[in-house]
Amino acid sequence: MDRIAQTFARTRREKRAAFVAYLCAGDPDFDTSLAACRAVLDAGADVLELGVPFSDPLADGLTNQLAAQRALEGGMTAARVFELVKRLREKSQVPIIFYTYYNLVFSNGVENYVRAAKEAGVDGLLTLDLPPEEADELLAACAKHDLKTVFIVAPTTPASRLPCIGAAATGFIYYVSREGVTGVRDQVATNIPEAVARIRQHTALPVAVGFGISTREQVRQVAKVADGVVVGSALVNVIKDNLDNRAGLPARLRITAADLVAGAA
């Protein structure tokens, strides 16, 4: 099995959900980002979802938009993002998913990008703005280079599209629990159990739930029904709040991440 399948199989045996940690690659600079990623992995994250910094992150709320801006201003490029993954692979075999936009893949040449991602140590691609109905070129490249694909289901996704999404995904399904963009919310959405059950009618892949999950209690609620729980903004906010203390940032991030990870147990 690949690293993604192995991880979800392990967490299933352990009767818990996988904790998926989101950070923006290169936020606020390369070295701090590397230390931040290692901190959340040390805290027990099962999957690392790396946001590839982009100038127009349409699915992201203000927290992650500013993270991408800091990364770009700090000099992150596609090549540097791949280098970050290679550095992480020196010490970790935790699955790494790219959270990206199709322009970044297409502009570098789809197959070239997929090959480079695989060679760097990436396990899967979540391309936010690419629907599976238009993803033939990417799907072919991912199949050729054994890079897993992740596709999104939203609260507004009609039931008629679920078979197509389920057929295109090879890593897991990402259920976006709220309409709109990423960000911290006071409460989790109330329709998650029904939505996850509906998705599972069309795929045997794990279903991870994200968007708006930011506390240990919220993680615990979602972990009762999902195979994975994705937390991003709550972690990115730790980086934002410690920009003037970059040396101490990893330790603070590790504490926050460990508290969130505990909710998935």
Q: What spatial distance separates the first Cα and last Cα of the chain, rounded to whole Å?
A: 23
Of 127, 111, 119, 198, nearest in space to 163 by CA: 198
Out of 46, 60, 123, 227, the active site residue is 60
**Alpha carbon distance 22, 36 (integer Å):** 11
* Catalytic site includes residue 60: yes
Neighbouring residues of 88: CB distance < 8 A, sequence distance ≥ 6: 34, 37, 38, 41, 48, 96, 121
- Interacting residues of 5 by C-beta distance below 8 A, sequence separation 6+: none
Residue type at 123 in one-letter notation: D
Active site residue: 27, 49, 123, 227, which one? 49
b/e per residue 89-122 (b: at least 16 CB within 10 A): eeebebbbbbbbbbebbeeeebbebbebbbebbb
Structure tokens at 7: 């991880």
Residues involved in catalysis: 49, 60
